[in-house]
Amino acid sequence: MTPIVIRRLLVAVCVAGIAGMIVTSITDTPEGALTFGLVTAVAAFGMILVTAVTNGGRATSDDELGEALEDRVARLVASGADERTVRALVRDAIRLGRQSPP
């Protein structure tokens, strides 16, 4: 099973769990609502785990990010962009990122 299939299955479980909580709350069955709530919580936790262990959420090092950025700048310059303008844009983006609160 691919991570996308697992995520979709877990989303379906979450949707069904929410619907189950609503129905059991309307029918005044607190045990059922609690059960559906726990199932939904486990599915949500499963989604967090799937995201954490797949390569899509892989953290990259500063060196990898720097190399990727330099490659993108080189591609822009090769396609005709002014190198000084591109590098000024990168500097401004870095400055903005440092000023913005997390």
State the pLDDT confidence band at 61, using cuts at 50, 70 and 90.
confident
Q: Alpha-carbon distance 34 to 38, whole Å? A: 6
- Render pLDDT for 90-101 as a digit per residue (tens, 0 to 9): 999 888 888 867
| pTM to 2 decimal places | 0.54
In angstroms, what is the C-alpha Rg of the chain?
23
Q: Measured between alpha carbons, how far is 97 from 28 in angstroms, rounded to an integer?
A: 51
